[in-house]
C-alpha cells in the first residue's frame, strides 16, 4: 500500500490460494518498516498501517471474495493462476470510485488474460498501463549458479517461461515465430525499389494503421493514429504511398472504407479494396501466418505490432467454422494492415485470387 494513500483506506493483497496469501503476508512483513504497522490479525487476514489504512489479504479461489470494499491499492500475485472473472467482474468495480492502482506480479502461463493485460502496458497509446518483464537472472536475491542448476533439470519451454519470463504461444495462437521475424528498422524509400502498402481504417474507437513493405517483405514504414477526420486520413495515406515510389495500396474497403476507397482512387492512387467476409479474412490471415512462419515477412521491434500478433487468435464454432479475431476489448488494426500489405506483396501485379478484392 503506497504511503500516499489517504487515511482510512483499504488495500488488497490477492493470491490464487489461501496458502499463497500467507506468503504475501510474509513479504509485507519483511519489507514494510515496522513502525508503519499498527495491528496484525492473521486470523482475519487484516494488517493495519498507520492512519487506519487496512490491508486485506484475499484468496481468489472462492467466489465473491473480491466484492464489498472500495479499494485504493491492490497487489495481485500470480494472476495467471486466477480465473479472469475474479478481476473483470468481481474486483475491478472496487477501484472505479477510488481510481485505485493495481500492481500485478507473476510468472507467465500461456497467453491468457494476464498476458492481455501485460500487452496493454506495451502499447504507448494506453498510458494508464505499464508493463515490464524480467528474467530470474536479474533478481539480486537469487544466485545465478543456482538458476543454472535449476535450468539443467527443466524442459526448454518451462525454462523460457519460468526463468526468462516469456509469454509462450499457446494452442489458440495464430502466429508462430513472431520474434524470429524481428529485424532491422524502418527505412526511407529508395529509388527503383518497389513498395506495397496495406491500410486498415479506424472504426469507432479503433486505429488507422498503414504498413509499407518492400519487395523483400520488410516493413519499411509503420504508422498508427486515431481521431483524425477522414479528409486528413486520406491525405496522410496518399502522402505515404506517393513517398514510397507510388506504392500499390490494398485497403480494407468494408463499410466505412468504401467512400475512402473511392476518394483515394480519384486522387490517382494505385489502390485496390479488400472486402472482408469470414472466408476472405481467413485467406488474408492464413497468408500472413505462413509468411511469418517462413520469415518471408520481417519487421522492426514495434511493441504494439508484436503485442497484437501475439494476442491474435482463432475460434472454431460448433459447426466447424474457423474465425480469426483479437480477444474482446483488444485491437487488431496492426495485424490487418500488415496482412493486407503481405497479401499484396505476395501477389504478382494485377493478380489477387480472392473474392474479397474488388
300-311 pLDDT, tens per residue? 999 899 989 988
CA distances (Å), 27 to each of 22, 23, 79, 190, in order? Answer: 9, 6, 17, 57
The 10s digit of each residue's pLDDT in 262-287 is: 888 888 889 998 988 888 998 999 89
Question: Is the same domain home to 295 and 196?
Answer: yes
pLDDT greater than 70 at residue 358? no
Residue 254 within any structural domain of the chain: yes
Handedness of CA 74, 115, 16, 94 (dihedral sign): positive
Same domain membership, residue 129 and residue 185 = no
Range ranked top by mean pLDDT from 8-17, 197-206, 341-350: 8-17
Over the stretch 184-243, which tens digit does the pLDDT of each residue have?
999 999 998 999 999 998 765 678 999 999 999 999 999 998 867 778 888 899 999 999
Please say if the pLDDT value at position 349 is more than 60.
no
CA distance 175 to 341: 16
Please give the C-alpha separations between residue 352 and each of 108, 241, 246, 349, 356, in angstroms, as whole numbers.
40, 19, 19, 8, 9
Based on the domain organization, do 148 and 192 belong to the same domain? no
Q: Is residue 330 part of a domain?
A: yes
Q: Residue 112's domain spans which residues?
A: 10-152
Beta strands in 52-127 (DSSP E): 53-59, 71-77, 101-105
pLDDT at 2 over 80: no
188 and 54, same structural domain?
no
**CATH number of the domain residue 205 falls in:** 3.30.420.240
Between 13-22, 166-175, 200-209, 237-246, the lowest mean confidence (pLDDT) is in 166-175
Mean of pLDDT over the chain: 86
Percent of the chain past pLDDT 90, that is, above it, reads 50
Spatial separation of the C-alpha atoms in residues 36 and 192, rounded to whole Å: 69
Same domain, 185 and 148: no
Q: How confident is the model at residue 355 (pLDDT cuts 50, 70, 90)?
A: very low
Statement to judge: residues 141 and 200 lie in one domain = no
Domain boundary among 152, 171, 189: 152
Is position 171 within any domain? no
Q: Are residues 86 and 223 in the same domain?
A: no
CATH number of the structural domain spanning residue 133? 3.40.50.300
Give pTM, 2 decimals. 0.61
pLDDT score of 354: 37
pLDDT at 230: 79
Query: Which range, of 50-59, 148-157, 264-273, averages the lowest pLDDT?
Result: 148-157
Domain check: are 146 and 186 in the same one?
Answer: no
* 334 shares a domain with 187: yes
Boundary residue ending a domain (107, 133, 152): 152
Distance CA 307, CA 111 (A): 11
Residue 8 in contact with residue 54, Cβ under 8 Å? no
Q: Measured between alpha carbons, how far apart are the two ends of the chain, in Å?
A: 58
Answer whether residue 245 shows pLDDT above 70: yes
Number of folded domains that form the chain: 2
158 within domain boundaries: no
E strands, the chain, are: 10-15, 37-41, 46-49, 53-59, 71-77, 101-105, 195-200, 208-214, 219-225, 248-252, 271-274, 313-316, 322-325
Name the pLDDT band for 170 (thresholds 50, 70, 90): low
For residues 87-112, give the mean pLDDT: 89
Amino acid at each position: 500500500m503506497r504511503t500516499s494513500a489517504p487515511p482510512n483506506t483499504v488495500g488488497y493483497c490477492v493470491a490464487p490460494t489461501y496458502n499463497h496469501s500467507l506468503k504475501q503476508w510474509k513479504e509485507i512483513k519483511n519489507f514494510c518498516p515496522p513502525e508503519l504497522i499498527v495491528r496484525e490479525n492473521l486470523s482475519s487476514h487484516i494488517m493495519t498501517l498507520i492512519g487506519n489504512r487496512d490491508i486485506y489479504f484475499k484468496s481468489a479461489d472462492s467466489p465473491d471474495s473480491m466484492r464489498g470494499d472500495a479499494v485504493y491499492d491492490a497487489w495481485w500475485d500470480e494472476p495467471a493462476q486466477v480465473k479472469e472473472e475474479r478481476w473483470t467482474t468481481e474486483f475491478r468495480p472496487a477501484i472505479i470510485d477510488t481510481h485505485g492502482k493495481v500492481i500485478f506480479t507473476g510468472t507467465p502461463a500461456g497467453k491468457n488474460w494476464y498476458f492481455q493485460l501485460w500487452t496493454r502496458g506495451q502499447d504507448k497509446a494506453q498510458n494508464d498501463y505499464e508493463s515490464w518483464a524480467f528474467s530470474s537472472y536479474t533478481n539480486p536475491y537469487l544466485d545465478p549458479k543456482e538458476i543454472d542448476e535449476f535450468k539443467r533439470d527443466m524442459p526448454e519451454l518451462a525454462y523460457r517461461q519460468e526463468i526468462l519470463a516469456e509469454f509462450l504461444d499457446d494452442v489458440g495462437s495464430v502466429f508462430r515465430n513472431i520474434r524470429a521475424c524481428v529485424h532491422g528498422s524502418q527505412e526511407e524509400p529508395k529509388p527503383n525499389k518497389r513498395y506495397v502498402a496495406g491500410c486498415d481504417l479506424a472504426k469507432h474507437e479503433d486505429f488507422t494503421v498503414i504498413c509499407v513493405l518492400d519487395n523483400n517483405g520488410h516493413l519499411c514504414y509503420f504508422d498508427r493514429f486515431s481521431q483524425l477526420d477522414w479528409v486528413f486520413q486520406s491525405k496522410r495515406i496518399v502522402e505515404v504511398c506517393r513517398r514510397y515510389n507510388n506504392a500499390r495500396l490494398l485497403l480494407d474497403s468494408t463499410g466505412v472504407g468504401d467512400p475512402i476507397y473511392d476518394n483515394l482512387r480519384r486522387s490517382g492512387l494505385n489502390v485496390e479494396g479488400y472486402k472482408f467476409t469470414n472466408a476472405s479474412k481467413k485467406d488474408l490471415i492464413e497468408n500472413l501466418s505462413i509468411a511469418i512462419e517462413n520469415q518471408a515477412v520481417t519487421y522492426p521491434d514495434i511493441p504494439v505490432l508484436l503485442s497484437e500478433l501475439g494476442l491474435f487468435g482463432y475460434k472454431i464454432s460448433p459447426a466447424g467454422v474457423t474465425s480469426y479475431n483479437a480477444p474482446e476489448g483488444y485491437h487488431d488494426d496492426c495485424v490487418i494492415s500488415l496482412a493486407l500489405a503481405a497479401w499484396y506483396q505476395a501477389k504478382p501485379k494485377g493478380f489477387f485470387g480472392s473474392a474479397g478484392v474488388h
